[in-house]
C-alpha cells in the first residue's frame, strides 16, 4: 500500500530494524519518528524487524530490509566470499520494487546506516537504483557508522559493486553525519567536501532519562528550565529567617550580568507566624522592583499541569534537585539544614550563608558567604563555583546542544522543511 501525500511533509525513516530491537540507531530512529509526528509531519518507519512505535507513527514491516533475514544472510555470506550471484540480483530487484511501492508519495526518506554499512548490500543497491532512476523522493543518508573505516569489516569488503556503492554518492541526496569525526570520515569515503555533509548529533530526552514525574516535567517545560544557564533551588518556607529577599537580590545581580536564571522557592508560607503573609507581600514587591518577576518563581503560586495548583510531593522535590544547578540557602539562622543532606545526595553544588549548622554539615564541601555580604559577592561566588564545576558545564552543554527537542527544533525540522520545499516549490 502506497504512502498517501499530505500538505505537511511526509517523512519515512528507514533502517534494518526498529524498537523494541535494542540498539543505538534504533533508539535514535524512534526519537526522531515520534518527535516529527508530534510536530505534524506524516511519519512512516520502514524496517525489516520491530514493533509499532505509537504516537501516530506508522510502521511498515518489510522483512527483506532486515539484516538477519534468511535470504539476506545467505546473500551476505556469498558477498563476504567475494561472490555476486543471481540471488543478490533477485533480492535487490525485489527490495527495489517493495520500496518503490511503499515510498510512493513520500517527500523525504531518512536512510539510517543502510547506505554506509554492508549489513544488507541488496538494500543498499536497491536504494541506489531508485535514486539513479529519478524516483521522486529526496534521500537523506544518515551516517552513524561506515563499513570502510572499521577494521573488523575490512575482510568483508571487495573491489567493485556492490561494495563500491558504500563509497558512491547518491545523486541528489543530502548527507548527514552524527559527529564531526563521522563527517570527516564520510567526506573522505565519498570524496565529498565536508561542507556538503550536515552534522546532526544524536540526542537525549532529559526528562525521560531522569524519570521525572509529570509535575516535574510540567515545571521544566513551563519554566523553560532546560534552557536556563543557571537554575537555583531554595527549598524553604516563606519566613523571614530564611532571608529570601537576599536570594532575590543575588538573582538580580546574576541577571545584571546577562545570565538567564531561574530561582525556585519551593515552600509555602511558614505555618506558625501570621506575619509571614506580610513578608510574602514584601518579597513580591521586591521582585517587581528588581524587575526579576520571570526569574524568581514561588512554586506554590503555580497552577500546575491540571490547573489545581502544583503539589510538591517528596518525589517532585527530588526531581527539583535533579533539575537544579545549585542550592542557595541564605538563612540567617538554622537549627540544622536538611536541604544540604538532599543536595549532597543529588550532587548539587551548595551556596549557603556562613552559619554554624550549615558549616557543620557541609564542611569544606560547600561554598559559604557572610550573612552581611553584598549580594554581588554571592552572585560572583555562584558564577565562579559553577564555572569551575566540570559536571555543571557538561550538563549545560548537553542540555543546550544535545537534548532531542533542541536538535529537532534547530536541526532536523528546518532540514526536512527545506528539502520538502525544494521538492514542492
What the block records as the C-alpha cell of 141 is 543518508
- What average pLDDT score do residues 189-215 get? 96
Give the bridge partners for 108, in sequence order: 11, 138
Give pLDDT, residue 99.
98
Query: Per-residue pLDDT for 425 more than 60?
Result: no
Question: What is the pLDDT at residue 424?
Answer: 56
pLDDT exceeds cutoff 50 at 178? yes
| Residue with more model confidence, 149 or 195 | 195
The whole-angstrom separation of Cα 354 and Cα 363 is: 11
Q: What average pLDDT does the chain have?
A: 94
Could you report the per-residue pLDDT of 36-63, keeping only the tens digit for each?
Answer: 999 999 999 999 999 999 889 999 999 9
Residue 6: the pLDDT is 47
Q: What is the mean pLDDT of residues 211-220?
A: 96
Distance CA 42, CA 40 (A): 6
For residue 4, pLDDT beyond 50: no
Angle at alpha carbon of residue 49, lines to 186 and 105, rounded to 5°: 70
Among 216-225, 345-354, 411-420, whose mean pLDDT is lowest?
A: 411-420
Average pLDDT estimate for 85-114: 97
Average pLDDT (411-422) is 86
The pLDDT of residue 423? 60
How do beta strands 174-177 and 197-199 pair? parallel
Q: Cell numbers 524487524 correspond to what residue?
A: 49
Cα–Cα distance measured from residue 18 to residue 420, given in angstroms and rounded to the nearest whole number: 24
Q: How far is CA 271 from CA 104, 238, 243, 276, 336, in A?
A: 66, 9, 17, 8, 18
Statement: residue 187 has pLDDT above 80: yes
Looking at residue 1, what is its pLDDT? 46
User: For 174, phi and psi rounded to 5 degrees?
Assistant: -105, 135
Residue ranges with strand state E in 338-390: 350-353, 367-369
| Residue carrying the nine cell digits 523494541 | 20
> For the packed helices 86-102 and 70-80, what is the interaxial angle rounded to 10 degrees?
130
Amino acid at each position: 500500500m502506497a504512502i498517501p501525500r499530505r500538505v505537511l511533509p511526509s517523512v519515512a525513516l528507514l533502517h534494518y530494524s526498529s524498537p523494541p530491537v535494542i540498539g543505538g540507531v534504533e533508539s535514535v530512529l524512534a526519537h526522531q519518528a515520534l518527535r516529527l509526528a508530534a510536530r505534524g509531519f506524516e511519519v512512516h518507519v520502514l524496517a525489516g524487524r520491530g514493533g509499532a512505535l505509537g504516537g501516530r507513527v506508522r510502521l511498515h514491516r518489510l522483512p527483506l530490509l532486515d539484516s538477519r533475514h534468511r535470504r539476506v544472510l545467505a546473500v551476505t555470506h556469498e558477498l563476504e566470499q567475494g561472490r555476486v550471484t543471481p540471488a543478490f540480483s533477485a533480492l535487490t530487484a525485489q527490495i527495489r520494487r517493495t520500496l518503490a511501492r511503499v515510498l510512493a508519495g513520500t517527500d523525504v526518506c531518512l536512510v539510517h546506516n543502510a547506505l554506509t554499512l554492508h549489513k544488507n548490500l541488496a538494500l543498499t543497491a536497491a536504494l541506489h537504483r531508485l535514486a539513479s532512476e529519478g524516483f521522486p523522493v529526496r534521500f537523506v543518508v544518515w551516517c552513524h557508522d561506515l563499513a570502510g573505516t572499521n577494521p573488523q569489516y575490512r575482510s568483508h569488503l571487495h573491489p567493485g559493486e556492490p561494495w563500491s556503492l558504500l563509497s558512491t554518492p547518491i545523486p541528489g541526496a543530502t548527507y548527514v553525519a552524527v559527529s564531526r569525526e563521522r563527517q570527516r570520515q564520510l567526506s573522505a569515503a565519498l570524496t565529498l567536501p565536508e561542507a556538503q555533509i550536515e552534522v546532526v548529533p544524536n540526542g537525549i530526552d532529559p526528562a525521560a532519562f531522569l524519570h521525572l514525574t509529570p509535575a516535574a516535567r510540567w515545571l521544566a517545560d513551563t519554566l523553560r528550565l532546560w534552557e536556563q544557564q543557571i537554575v537555583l533551588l531554595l527549598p524553604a518556607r516563606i519566613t523571614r529567617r530564611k532571608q529570601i529577599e537576599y536570594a532575590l537580590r543575588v538573582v538580580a545581580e546574576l541577571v545584571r550580568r546577562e545570565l538567564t536564571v531561574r530561582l525556585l522557592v519551593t515552600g509555602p508560607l511558614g505555618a506558625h507566624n501570621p506575619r509571614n503573609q506580610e513578608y510574602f507581600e514584601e518579597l513580591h514587591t521586591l521582585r517587581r522592583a528588581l524587575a526579576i518577576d520571570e526569574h524568581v518563581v514561588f512554586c506554590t503560586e503555580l497552577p500546575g499541569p491540571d490547573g489545581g495548583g502544583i503539589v510538591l510531593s517528596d518525589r517532585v522535590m527530588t526531581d527539583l534537585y535533579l533539575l537544579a544547578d545549585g542550592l542557595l540557602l541564605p538563612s540567617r539562622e538554622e537549627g540544622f539544614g536538611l536541604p544540604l543532606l538532599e543536595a549532597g545526595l543529588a550532587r548539587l553544588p551548595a551556596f549557603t550563608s556562613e552559619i554554624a549548622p550549615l558549616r557543620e554539615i557541609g564542611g569544606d564541601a560547600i561554598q559559604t558567604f557572610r550573612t552581611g555580604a553584598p549580594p554581588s559577592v554571592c552572585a560572583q561566588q555562584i558564577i565562579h563555583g559553577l564555572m569551575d564545576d566540570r559536571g555543571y558545564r557538561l550538563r549545560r552543554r548537553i542540555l543546550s546542544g544535545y537534548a532531542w527537542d533542541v536538535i529537532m527544533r534547530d536541526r532536523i525540522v528546518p532540514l526536512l522543511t527545506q528539502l520538502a520545499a525544494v521538492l514542492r516549490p
